[in-house]
Structure formats: structure tokens, C-alpha cells
Amino acid sequence: MSPSHPVEPLFKRLHSLDVLSAEEEQAILDAAEGSTRFSASDDIVKEGDRPTRSALLSRGFAARYRLVEGGKRQITAIHVAGDFVDLHGFLLKEMDHSVAALGPCEIVAVPHRNLKRITERFPHLTRLLWLLTLIDGSIHREWLVGMGRLPAPAQAAHLICEIDLRLALVGLSRDHAFRFPATQTDLADTLGLSVVHVNRILQELRAEGLLRWQQQAVDILDFPRLAELAEFDARYLHLNSDPR
């Protein structure tokens, strides 16, 4: 398998959690279909859909979102390469939210019938996929805490710390520098804040020498100070490898 195989980021993600056997890797390769590219803001799955395939994000970023009255959007999760974006749809059947490309991205489709076969034949791999959805849940909890209890600048700083560490797991952030195509509107919709306020917060983080953010390139200049401002504790990301 070449290092550029679209499933490679998922392997990296799973390897960060536990040891993956060659048979388990092969089972994922056998389950995956071809990849599809999406442009920024394209919907990958829509609320109300009953997908028959789950999307595995092989490149770029995706966002889960809900639209509320007046067309306002709340992004409820950001996914990075290696995330099994809508593993949820496999069992939930009907989508209760949409998933869109956050910048250009590439998706590998995994038919639900193939996922079912994995759950029937590979109990350890099944637990790892289950674990991925549990970690999605712990990230939701952390965001809820941030939106409910953190001042807005801390909430923004928290998101930036999180994206950095999640990208590092799949080798896409080095020395706290990474590519992130989210616009200020995307950030505002993620943080539940106005774009004007988000702009003010980013200017403050820049002015304090905590980060640089130019043309989709984020460079965290002082991770410890940014994490302190954010009250960031990475425990909820479950970054450790353990037998599962």
C-alpha cells in the first residue's frame, strides 16, 4: 500500500489508539470504495438523508452542522483527515444533521453492508470504530462546556489547541503549525459567536503573540500560553494508546 492511499489517515488515527493487525487493516481496505472530492461548502450528507454508505475523510476538513431559523448555521463538530465522519449514519439510519466540506476535501465511501461485515467478523476493529464515535461524543461534551462556561476568547483558543493536537495524530500538524481552511464565518458558526467578535478575538490572539494565521496557515507560536488561556486539558481527546 502506498503511503498516499486514501485510507492511510484512518490507519494513523487507529494506530494512535491501539495496535491494528494486518488482517484488520486489510478488512478496512476491502470495505472501502473509491474516493470522491468535494469543494468548500459542498454537502457530503444532508439532514434527513438515509445514507447507505459512511464517509471516511481522507483529506481536508469537514463540518457537521444544523441550520436554524433564519438560515443561521451551527457547526457541531469539525472533522479532520482520518475521521470516520458519519459512522453514525450506519446505525442511526436517518441523518439528524448535515455534513459539509470545510474547504476542499476527499471522502472514501464505506458501504454500510461492508461495515456490517466488519462488525460480524472483527470484534476488536469493531470496538475501535465504536471508540471513534465515543471520542466524537467526548469532543461534543468539551465543546458544550466551552460554550456554556468559557469566555469567548478562551473558547476560540480551545478550538485551535484541539485542531492542532488532532491533526498531529495523523501527521498533519508539525511544531504546532498546520493548514486550516476555515473562514471566520466557519469559526463563528462553530463557536456560536458573531463574525465581528471572532475577528476581534483572532486579532487579540495575534497581538499577544500566541499565533499567526495567514491564508489558511495556522502557526501556534506559544502553545503553553494558548492552552492556559483556553483552560485546555487534552484528556478528553484520549490521545493515549491502550489495548481496547
Partner 1 sequence: MARYFFDIRDRDGFFADEAGLDLPDMDAAVAEARRALGEMVKDALRDGHEETIEILIRDGSDGPILLSISMASRDLKQAAEGGP
Residues forming the site for partner 1 (CB under 8 A): 151-153, 184, 193-197, 199-200, 203-204
Comparison of 151 and 171: residue with beta carbon closer to partner 1: 151
Comparison of 203 and 240: residue with beta carbon closer to partner 1: 203
Comparison of 144 and 196: residue with beta carbon closer to partner 1: 196
Q: How far is the CB of 208 from partner 1 (least distance, A)?
A: 10
Task: List the beta bridge partners of residue 109.
Answer: 55
Q: How far is the CB of 139 from partner 1 (least distance, A)?
A: 23
d(CA 58, CA 240): 22
CA 168, 25, 134, 87 dihedral sign is: positive
Q: How far is the CB of 143 from partner 1 (least distance, A)?
A: 17
Q: How far is the CB of 103 from partner 1 (least distance, A)?
A: 17
> What grid cell was written down for 170?
495523523
Comparison of 101 and 193: residue with beta carbon closer to partner 1: 193
Comparison of 110 and 193: residue with beta carbon closer to partner 1: 193
Comparison of 117 and 206: residue with beta carbon closer to partner 1: 206
Closest CA to 16 of 177, 236, 238: 238
Q: How far is the CB of 35 from partner 1 (least distance, A)?
A: 33
Neighbours of 243 (CB within 10 A): 6
Q: How far is the CB of 60 from partner 1 (least distance, A)?
A: 23
CB 54 within 8 A of CB 10: no
Q: Phi/psi at 221 (nearest 5 deg)?
A: -85, -30
CB 79 within 8 A of CB 85: yes
Closest CA to 160 of 135, 138, 175, 180: 180
Quote the crossing angle between the two packed helices 152-169 and 223-230, to the nearest 10°.
130
